Structure 1
Amino acid sequence: MIIAIFALGTQGDVQPYLALGSALIQQGHTVRLITHTNYQQQASALGFEVWPVEGNVQEVAESEEMRKLLQKGNMLEINRYTSRLMEEVVLGWARDSLNACEGADLLMAGMGGGSLARALSEKLNVPFIEAHVVPMTPTRAFPGVLLPAGGPRLGGTVNLLSHHLVQQVMWQSFRSADQKMRQSVLKLPAAPFFGPKPQKRHPQPPVLYGISPHVLPRPADWPSHIHMTGFWFLDAPSWQPPAELQNFLDSGPTPIYVGFGSMGNRDPEQTADLVLEALQTSGQRAVLLKGWGGMVRGDLPDFVHLSGSVPHSWLFPRMRAVVHHGGAGTTAAGLGAGVPSQVVPFFGDQPFWGNRVQMLGVGPAPIPRKNLTAQKLADSIQRMVSDVAMQQKAVTLGQVIQTENGPMDAVAIIEQHVAESAQLH
């Protein structure tokens, strides 16, 4: 099969689809990846046919306006800002994606690129499979994950309605750009006001979630075509650490990890000061990830190593605990490594994952970035490195997660669906 996967966003957004696509490639399928130029080299090395689209997501994340929005953590304002950016690039994305999908047998996407993939599916009459790493299907079990944290006790009916609210907020913010690309490039009628109609295909296309059911139990009210396969991890077995990093790991007690990924800070040096004070107070060594947030300082104490990008699958199992922003991919990596996690959420689904970590007993309560202080972080770090029960729960959960093979389970579901569809046609 020729499969086109849309993977747009930050490294954490894209990496699970690299894992899923790699599994498809291993099974002999051709995978075309529609993504930003940032990831072209990495994806090409994994065997993808890469179709880059306009825009550098790192530049957007590091922009002054986005830094201010991330600091506030207001999802609606962030949505409005990204919607304006989409208006500027959507025609180019549609043209490039139309070429990329020519001759494809199947289209796949999650939140990043989902609307674009759905419109192309309609244009080309090619099946589309939703593949998410954040739970988007409405359920009574928990509230919409992009809503502000704090509503798990609202009740089943309100939970269900909250998912539809989230879907509408996301759709309405993108509707203008969607109409623009449909009419100008794809020559399609505008989608209905409340969003594109569900696909009318038989058999029903599966909806895939790269989430472990041991971390988020599958809701009982989800229909049978919705699958939780386990996390989509991208292995890095041949990765070798820089000598400076390996020397730091070997030179003293096991450190912790602190990094906020692509979440920018208006004042990265202030963030670094806060983290260093917390480490000194707690008496811990740490690998501090520079990340896109730019936590850079001139002279660092010897109990800290400032690192560039390192595969989480390699680094996290070598840590005592991990402190991070709570993105879906980073959270999965921390849980899979079997170490306690402190989530410091900025916005979006990050508070949801922080609450899951706490409910599972494998980390303290999330500390929203805007409420983070050196003392709070120091107390959290001290708890993670001293709480034996928390550490054991983290180890046990990590062992269970490591028995799963989310990408290959997803591939089996995809292949079964395609085979069933072929029999009917």
Structure 2
Amino acid sequence: MRPLLITVGSRGDVQQFLALARGLLAAGHRPVLAAPRRFEPLATRHGVEFVPLYDEMLELQNTVKGQGVRAAITAARSVRPMVRRLLDDQAALTARPADVVVYHPKSLGGPYVAEKLGVPAFAGLLIPLYVPTSAFPSPIVPVRPPGPLNRASWRIAAAIEAPYRSVIRTWRAEALGLRDGFVPMAELVRTGNVLHAWSPHLLPAPADWPDSARPIGFWTMPADDTWAPPERLARFLDEGEPPVYVGFGSSTTGDPDVLTATVLEGVRLAGRRAVLATGWGALRPGADADDVLVMEEAPHDWLLPRVAVAVHHGGVGTAAAALRAGVPQVVRPFVGDQPFWASRLHRLGVAPEPLRGRLTAARLAAAIEKAAELAPAARVSAGHLGAEDGVATAVARIAAAS
């Protein structure tokens, strides 16, 4: 096969598509990954053919991150030239031969590229977004609605997409020559082929989903055997009991100094050492101490199996890494789908109740102590994830359709 994979977004969005590309390559296929140009070195390092896409949209995402659905919709209305540039880059992909297209809905153009090529299309979803259910509300709804409104809440994904539709419709006609039969993205995903790339152990399919929508497992990159920890990290881990990992990924906060001080006090109240990953700025970089090591980031697949508890923001990528590592978790969600995954981890028994609202050192210390008691359940969950292979299942589904 010659699969074309199209994704747009942060590293979390791209890395899972890269994992799928690697799986396709290992199965003897010839995948091409189209993604924001800044990720070309990452794809090249893994031997995957790469086509760069316009990536100024990433800067826009960074600007509105954490400001809610209304900010996202307002921003969408102000960036039509950016959207058109991104879509034009995707239109150029139709000059390449492809047998199937797998796209992230953030790409906006993925299903229409497949339509122009006349090949099957699969939506690759890393969180549930478009297939409605009465069992739970859409993960991106900012407030939990009453149960009878669960299914209606799934319309929010279509509302976020709606400001782009006139640009997409015009581009589809002008750049692809598809002047009739326009169908919005939300409807295409809901009624088409979908690959739900998360573990059914974490979130099983609700009873009102079709079999084709059942989750198939995370798309996980193999461990990077070439990565070696900095000497100071290796030494810190060797010098005492496994520490607590604290990292909030791409989340941001209005006062990183206060959050950092609260985290350090909470870890020390719990009698623990800590590795702090500052990420995109939720935590303030600072000097190491005898009981604290501060760094920007480290590969989760290497670090998390070496810690006692993982404290994080509830992003599904970090949650998946901690589940695979068999480490109990403490979740302080910030925005978007993070509260949803925080609740799922608590229900699974690998995390105490999420730390919503104002975070205090005492609350964090208590949560760390409760999480440590859940280590046996975390190890059991790791066994379940170890038996899943979301990439292999996706490769088989794609091959069967093309």
How high is the TM-score relative to the length of structure 2?
A: 0.91
Deviation at 1:166, TM superposition (A): 2.0
What secondary structure is seen at the aligned counterpart in 2 of 1:112?
Answer: helix
What secondary structure is seen at the aligned counterpart in 1 of 2:31?
Answer: strand
TM-aligned CA distance change 1:27 to 1:86, over 3 Å:
farther
The within-5 A match list for 1:204-223 is 206-223=193-210
8 Å contact kept, 1:58–1:292: no
8 Å contact kept, 2:286–2:294: no
> Is 1:398 paired with 2:382?
yes
TM-aligned CA distance change 1:149 to 1:12, over 3 Å:
farther
TM-aligned CA distance change 1:199 to 1:60, over 3 Å:
closer
Partner of 1:17: 17
- Deviation per CA, 1:52-108: give whole Å up to 9, x if none: 122256644655xx3xx52xx523323433x24652322221222222342111111
- State the one-letter code of the partner of 1:141: A
8 Å contact kept, 1:110–1:130: yes
Aligned match for 2:141, one of 125, 136, 147: 147
> Is 1:295 paired with 2:283?
yes
Q: Structure 2: where are the runs of 5+ without partners?
A: none
TM-aligned CA distance change 1:57 to 1:97, over 3 Å:
closer
> Is 1:121 paired with 2:121?
no
Whole-angstrom distance in 2 between the partners of 1:191 and 1:326: 39
CA RMSD of aligned residues (A): 2.5
Aligned match for 1:410, one of 376, 389, 394: 394
Deviation at 1:205, TM superposition (A): 5.8
Partner of 1:162: 153
What secondary structure is seen at the aligned counterpart in 2 of 1:225?
Answer: helix
Partner of 2:355: 367
- State the one-letter code of the partner of 1:408: A
Q: Structure 1: where are the runs of 5+ without partners?
A: 419-425
What secondary structure is seen at the aligned counterpart in 2 of 1:130?
Answer: strand
Whole-angstrom distance in 2 between the partners of 1:84 and 1:40: 29
- Deviation per CA, 1:364-405: give whole Å up to 9, x if none: 12223x5323332222122222x2xx2211111111111111
What secondary structure is seen at the aligned counterpart in 1 of 2:19?
Answer: helix
8 Å contact kept, 1:12–1:329: yes
What secondary structure is seen at the aligned counterpart in 2 of 1:118?
Answer: helix
TM-aligned CA distance change 1:197 to 1:269, over 3 Å:
closer
> Is 1:186 paired with 2:179?
no
TM-aligned CA distance change 1:194 to 1:6, over 3 Å:
closer
Whole-angstrom distance in 2 between the partners of 1:77 and 1:191: 30
The share of aligned pairs that are identical, in percent, is 34
TM-aligned CA distance change 1:309 to 1:84, over 3 Å:
farther
Partner of 1:49: 49
8 Å contact kept, 1:143–1:160: yes
Deviation at 1:22, TM superposition (A): 1.0
How high is the TM-score relative to the length of structure 1?
A: 0.86
8 Å contact kept, 1:205–1:225: no
Whole-angstrom distance in 2 between the partners of 1:171 and 1:62: 18
Partner of 1:130: 123
8 Å contact kept, 1:269–1:297: no
What secondary structure is seen at the aligned counterpart in 2 of 1:217?
Answer: coil
- Deviation per CA, 1:154-176: give whole Å up to 9, x if none: 14xx222222x223222213324
8 Å contact kept, 1:62–1:293: no
Whole-angstrom distance in 1 between the partners of 2:174 and 2:384: 49
- State the one-letter code of the partner of 1:301: A
- State the one-letter code of the partner of 2:364: L
